[in-house]
Structure 1
Amino acid sequence: MIARRVLSPGNQPFCIAFTIAVLGSSALINAPRSAAHTLDGPSFHDTMAATRERLINVCGTEKLAAMSLDELTAQLTADERHLLGTTFINFHISKPAWVHVVIPTVKKGDPFWLNNRGFIRGEGRWNVSSIEYETWSRQFSPGHVGLGLPSLSGIPENYAVVITPAEKNGPEPEVSELYPGHLRLGKVALKERLYVDSERRLSKAPDEFIGRTLILTQRSMRDKGKLYREFRLSPYPSSTKPDNILLTWTDEPDTTQTIRWRTNAATTRGALALAEGKSSPIKIGRAQKIAATTEEFVTNDIANDPVIHLHTVRLTGLKPDTTYTYTIGDDTDAGWIKPVEFTTAPGRPKTFSFIYLGDAQNGFLEWGRMMKDAVKQRPDAAFVIMAGDLVTRGNERDDWDDLFHNATGLFDRRPIVPVIGNHEYQGEKPLLYQRFFAVRDNGPKNIDPGRAYSFEYGNALVIVLDSNKNIPEQAGWLEQQLRDTKALWKFVSYHHPAYASRSGRSYPDINKHWVPIFDRYHVDLALQGHDHAYLRTYPMNAGRRVGKPAGGTIYLITVSGTKLYEQEKHDYTEVGFTKVPTWQILDIKIEDRTLLYRAYGVDGKLRDEFVIEK
């Protein structure tokens, strides 16, 4: 084996890589074969595993985390490029043919094998949902065709493959011997699928491809070639002191409070000291002390902070409508942090307020500044509803570290009511969302715990739904919650809008399965996200505008982060504007049975306001 020095694009040594012989006793060629792999040579998965292991051994995780995409690509050996560029999808064609890779708009040089193997970018554009695809094409001779990984850096969707005759009016080639086994053959057609495991439909395609042979791929495989940012650096790594403090409810809000926080692995135990009333500094010797449950949480992709501890205390038997002071630490004299306060929910109807936020997702520094202004303006807000897409990369912990750091002073003093958005589902399951947020386990029994839940606060019912999956399965539980409550005010929160701010972004399943239930039991407000603009509908019932809130539900879409979209005017739009992050405060007044809603922009200006009277 011959060692050689690999240079970054700046022509400076970055780390040492070693060539791997295509033939011989290299680690790659002798890697264990996947059980389902039937082709000669290493499988794609074996190649990925061996490449990843080599890069870790040669470069180290912190150097890999700091690399640019170009620098990472330069670290791949010729043999790794060959195998990663030919083994992801395999099939056989009976005649000379054009092979067209239909892929979300390609980043410069990624995936590397398209340019390297002579594929040419076409002019036509495709659309699936709101994502634009492009075509990369190349002629192949009869026989075996192997195509490469979707992307080193990750793309929003996997690619699909279209086969056309080499000659313009020639016969269609037969396509056979598809590998992996989940691939399926179909025909290109509008309103048909590109993926075997997704109901997302093709809404636009170049005319010349309609009716041509399509190889449907697996959407969930879209990140299987990801090596760039496979290792990341947390912008706020953990320490021995508690941080990322989250208040949530796992039971009734008037008598319980759950508190979860983070430390590094050196802090092996946690404790909470609690005193009734406003008591700062808290007297530890006189306070009630509760030992935390401590769990190790390993995220090997965080190069500078791979192992943390999560500490959780569930307080029960609290007094309603009571302020408590607490501090957390490791139960040593020097281990406690500065005390903070929270207040339990009232045990009977009482005037209260809460904050509602749309997608934060990115721009957390600016988001955090806006939230500090919100708390300063409305310190009486009892809790905060976040209607999904709290972060961009829902299963990458560095993104959550950034959000939680900038939420200091917010979620450690008033509970967060989280909602699952599509970005929490990165990688198909909201794994980190479920790990960080301890919420009520009173949702539908036919879906995973914590994805949907409800609680009552004062004279209001709040229902949280998961609009990403299993929409019909949640309908029965949703109806039961609304039918059985005696609450005067009814709020639902979920991520994807029933009435969207742009064409093509409404979700028919929500309108089919949930909206009739909202109508039947008169939900007051639907608190949504997803569209990254501000929209308030007229009161809606059965898909039509009605005159007053007493006759229908008002649907809201808001955004609190810095990712902002355009929107269109619809007949259901009463108020709509763009390019302004906002936060919303809802005041529920008992005496005159009114709800006062106000939306404030990042600049502090009042942007929208309305009143509902009961």
Structure 2
Amino acid sequence: MRWVLSALLLGFCATTLAQEARRPEPNTRVPKGVARYTPSGFPDRIVASPAQDASTGFSAAWRTDTRVSAPQLEIVVAGDSPDMGEPRRIEATSRPLKTENGEAHHHRADVDGLQPDTLYAWRVQGDRTWSAWHHTRTAAAATAPLTLLYFGDTQNKNVSLTTRVVREAMRAAPEARLALFAGDLVSGGDGEDDNEWGEWFEANEVLPTSLVVAPAPGNHEYFEEFEDTPQERRVLGAHWPVTFALPGNGVAQARRTTYWFDYQDVRVVVIDGTSALDLGTAKAQAAWLDQALASNPHRWSIVLTHQPFFSPREGRDNVLLRQHLLPVIRKRKVDLVLQGHDHVYGRLKHEAPTPVFVVSVTGAKQYRLSEEARKTMRPVAEDTQLFQVLRFDGPRLRYEARTATGRLYDAFDLVDGGAAGKQLVEHAEGRIEERTCTRAETLKGRADRCWE
């Protein structure tokens, strides 16, 4: 009898623990009242971003506490000896930011005059200390092969569930030099903005200093000021301008959130869908985009944006993007339009080989596909965390979407035939079956989502 009671008790405990494990997970792992990401004299949140010409420079951003107000960046050609020679020192600029974790100083250093295709070691200064030495290689010649990574929204539960995708991406493409993020890096708006940014950097581990990072702003990088009043408006969050050191060549009406840069044989142009849709800048962004693409001397072009031109989620229709910006994208024969926002996967089926419109998601939040998306996109996916690897090699671009476990989900080549134009070649071999959401509702009881 005692044995039976013990077995029943163990079974009850196991069931209770299983039920506990299925409760909705909080957006960050930081318990209430715990200071996990307080700034200190040790530099953190270190991230490199491309200069307008990524072959000769990059910029770095980092954070410390307020004791550090005039830091420097040191850089030297990387060598095999710990004695790499006398580094060049570059003065940084600093801006304060007060958050739930206290007041911090965010720093920016712009590095120019570098040699193409050269591995540099660099570090940033804190309070009587320095960061580790990081390695970043400048862009090579246009004819050299290039690998880059593209991530959809990370947004929620970054340390818990984005970490594994980033690690898998870096295993799949250890030669990658550039990472594109399609907005909504964090969720924001819940009083934990700084914790969320801390988790984004923790989840990405060495990626922001091993590669150069180019993000697009998402709607969650904004917040609603005067919410539920006649004066309600979108305002860019305080973290965005100081977290990344981005090129300052954007359109005047959205200077801090639009930019472009050249990386080998690719021009990447980042537009701000939130500003276009909610702040009336679509027309101005279209004119600026036209100029940025018209002057492109390279074989390939990418437009990176958050909100999709063709939404795969039910109830979303970004008309202003199609009205003002889509004609420019088609006129200038953009190759890829990389997007996020809708938390599913979808590649638009189209008669023309380019532009290729892709929506993807990296993070934990998962929505459901619309019936229209199932008719007009292929492949599509629900309930799937993904990353994308893009490999450029002369006249051929290879695109692969892979799941969080590294399985191949989508693949195609774009092949430049010169006067004959570019052709899309599908690669179906090795792809797993299309994935759909099998849950009736989320753990919070929402039937309009698959996971949250």
TM-score scaled by structure 1?
0.57
Change (3 A) 1:461 1:236: same
One of 308, 318, 343 as aligned partner of 1:532: 343
Alignment of 1:311-326 (within 5 A): 311-326=107-122
Task: Tell me how far apart the structure 1 counterparts of residues 83 and 197 of structure 2 sit (CA, whole Å).
Answer: 30
State the one-letter code of the partner of 2:182.
Answer: A
The answer to whether the Cα contact below 8 Å between 2:314 and 2:371 also exists between their aligned partners in 1 is no
Q: How far apart in 1 are the matches of 2:140 and 2:248?
A: 21
1:443–1:453 contact (8 Å) kept in structure 2: yes
Partner of 2:284: 473
Structure 2 CA distance for aligned equivalents of residues 595 and 234 of structure 1: 45
Counterpart of 1:420 in 2: which secondary structure?
Answer: coil
Instruction: Determine which of 202, 211, 217 is the counterpart of 1:420.
Output: 217
| Identical pairs, percent | 27
Would you say the 8 A contact 1:358–1:558 is kept in 2?
yes
In structure 2, what is the Cα distance between the partners aligned to 1:514 and 1:266?
45
- Give a deviation string over 1:323-374, Cα, whole Å, max 9, x none: 1112223485xx2333220011124332101111110001212212221221
Structure 1 residues 273 and 331: CA distance shift in structure 2, 3 A: farther
1:608 matched to 2:410? The reply is yes
Distance in 1 between residues matched to 2:391 and 2:83, nearest whole Å = 31
Contact 1:236 1:405 in 2 (8 A): no
Measured in 1, the distance between the counterparts of 2:332 and 2:88 equals 44
In the alignment, structure 1 residue 372 sits paired with structure 2 residue 177:
no
User: What corresponds to 1:261 in structure 2?
Assistant: 62
Distance of aligned partners of 1:522 and 1:233 in 2 relative to their CA distance in 1, 3 Å threshold: farther
1:298 corresponds to 2:94 = no
Mapping for residues 64-463 of structure 1, pairs under 5 Å = 234-279=35-80, 281=82, 283=84, 286-299=85-98, 301-302=99-100, 305-330=101-126, 332=128, 335-365=129-159, 366-393=161-188, 396-427=193-224, 428-430=234-236, 431-445=238-252, 447-463=253-269
Distance 1:377 1:437 in 2: 25
**Shift in Å, 1:477:** 1.1
Residue equivalent to 2:308: 497
Q: Deviations over 1:64-101 (max 9, x none)?
A: xxxxxxxxxxxxxxxxxxxxxxxxxxxxxxxxxxxxxx
How far residue 291 of structure 1 moved from its aligned partner, in angstroms, is: 4.4
Could you tell me how far apart the structure 2 residues matched to 1:234 and 1:499 are? 41
Aligned-pair distance for 1:296? 4.7
Q: Secondary structure at the match of 2:209?
A: coil
How many equivalent residue pairs?
A: 366
Q: Equivalents in 1 of 2:95, 2:391: separation in Å?
A: 40
Q: What secondary structure, in the 3-state scheme, does the structure 2 residue paired with 1:514 have? A: helix
| Partners of 1:535 and 1:557 within 8 A in 2 | yes
* Amino acid corresponding to residue 378 of structure 2 in structure 1: E
- Looking at structure 1, the residues matched to 370 and 115 of structure 2 have their Cα atoms a distance apart, in angstroms, of 48
Amino acid at match of 1:438: A
CA shift for structure 1 position 272: 2.5
The verdict on how the C-alpha distance between 1:588 and 1:234 changes in structure 2, with shifts beyond 3 A counting, is farther
Q: For 1:385-431, what per-residue CA distance to the aligned partner results, in whole angstroms no more than 9, with x for missing partners?
A: 11110100068222111111222201011111010110011132223
1:597 Cα deviation (Å)?
Answer: 0.4
Shift in Å, 1:255: 0.6
Which structure has the greater CA radius of gyration? 1
Distance 1:280 1:582 in 2: 38
Please, which of 375, 378, 381 is the counterpart of residue 574 of structure 1?
378
Q: Which residue of 507, 510, 515 maps to 2:321?
A: 510
- Whose helix fraction is larger, Structure 1's or Structure 2's? 2
The separation in 2 between residues aligned to 1:568 and 1:359, in whole angstroms, is: 19
Aligned AA for 1:574?
A: R
| Unmatched segments (≥5 aa) in structure 2 | 1-29, 225-233, 276-280, 417-452
In structure 1, distance between residues paired with 2:286 and 2:82: 48
* CA distance in structure 2 between the partners assigned to 1:518 and 1:362 by the alignment: 31
Distance 2:109 2:291 in 1: 31
Question: 1:232-285 deviations in whole A, cap 9, x for unaligned?
Answer: 7553222221111010134321111111111223345423332213446455xx
Amino acid corresponding to residue 267 of structure 2 in structure 1: L
SS at match of 2:239: helix
Name the CA shift for 1:271/1:498 in 2 (closer, same or farther; >3 Å): same
Matching residue's letter, 1:273: E
Give 1:437 shift. 1.6
Query: Does the C-alpha gap of structure 1 residues 368 and 234 become closer, same or farther in structure 2, counting only changes over 3 Å?
Result: farther
Query: Cα deviation per residue 1:519-544 (whole Å; 9 max; x = unaligned)?
Result: 11211111010000111112xxxxxx
Q: Given residue 368 of structure 2, which amino acid in structure 1 is its aligned partner?
A: E
Q: 1:566 to 1:256 in 2, by over 3 A?
A: same
Change (3 A) 1:582 1:340: same
Query: 1:562 and 2:368 equivalent?
Result: no
Contact residue 272 and residue 290 of structure 1 kept, 8 A: yes
Is contact 2:391-2:398 (8 Å) kept?
Answer: yes
Asked if the contact 1:235–1:402 (Cα under 8 Å) also holds between the matched residues in 2, the reply is: no
Aligned partners of 2:72 and 2:91 also within 8 Å? yes
In structure 1, the residue matched to 2:16 is none
Letter of the 2:120 partner, please give it. Y
Q: CA RMSD in A?
A: 2.1
State the distance in 1 between where 2:241 and 2:125 align: 23
Alpha-carbon distance between aligned partners in 2 of 1:291 and 1:596, rounded to the nearest angstrom: 38
**Aligned partner of residue 490 in structure 1, secondary structure:** strand
Decide whether aligned partners of structure 1 residues 232 and 280 sit closer, same or farther in structure 2, where only a CA change above 3 A counts.
farther
Report the residue type matching 2:221 in the other structure: E
| Alignment partner, residue 522 of structure 1 | 333
Q: CA deviation at 1:508?
A: 0.6
